[in-house]
Amino acid sequence: GFGHPATVLRLLRAGADTALRSEDGKTALQWAKEKGHAECVEAFKKHVQEVVAGRPTATAAGGEGAGGASSGGASSAGSRVAKTLSPAVAAGRASSGVVAAPDAVVAAAERGEEEAVLAWLEGGGRVDATYERGGVSGLTLLMLAAQEGRERVVELLLQRGADANLQNSIGFTALMFAAGSGHERVVE
């Protein structure tokens, strides 16, 4: 398996939180390493290099600089880990007004049919609508597209404001799905 390195990089660039952990305590990077997805591990390294390379610019432009942003991120990383949703919390959230994604749209995202997903969104569909599969709730179209390596659908959903840091009922994010899935056909 190769994971989806291009999708991993897109999610990281879109602000996916690398500190989030699944129910069993693993981060997306740990999933990639455990599954032997060297290309995804390299995507994480590339992103870190991009962030480090970008820091002097952020300092010059932002006043507070990357030090402020980075220390803020570090201090909240621990609290983010604590925010991993328990299945009970996720189930409560799923039943409390969260919009469900129709089966046809879920199938379209899974197959990479960006036109169908776009039409649904333009017709009023919610970009972070959820669905349930195999006893796991809180799954989003972004998670599914990332798992399947559907880069164009991932890009569309991110452009439309999909939250890359949402977690399903077992704590998985879109980044974890992209880093832990192994479809060779989407490596490029």
**Per-residue model confidence as pLDDT tens digits over 97-142:** 568 999 999 999 999 999 999 999 999 999 999 999 999 999 999 9
Pairing status of strand 130-133 against strand 136-140: antiparallel
Distance (Å) of CA 64 to CA 14, 17, 56, 168: 21, 21, 11, 34
pTM above 0.85, yes or no: no
For the segment 2-26, what is each residue's pLDDT rounded down to a tens digit? 679 999 999 999 999 999 999 999 9
Query: What's the whole-number average pLDDT of the chain?
Result: 79
Which residue, among 166, 113, 112, 116, has the nearest Cα to 137 in the 3D structure? 166
pLDDT in tens, 132-175: 999 999 999 999 999 999 999 999 999 999 999 999 999 999 99
Give me the mean pLDDT over the 52-71 stretch.
48
Q: Which two tokens stand for residue 33?
A: 């390493």
Residue 32's region, left for phi above 0, alpha for psi from -120 to 50, else beta, is alpha
Task: State pLDDT tens for residues 88-99.
Answer: 444 444 444 568
**What pLDDT shows up at residue 182?**
65
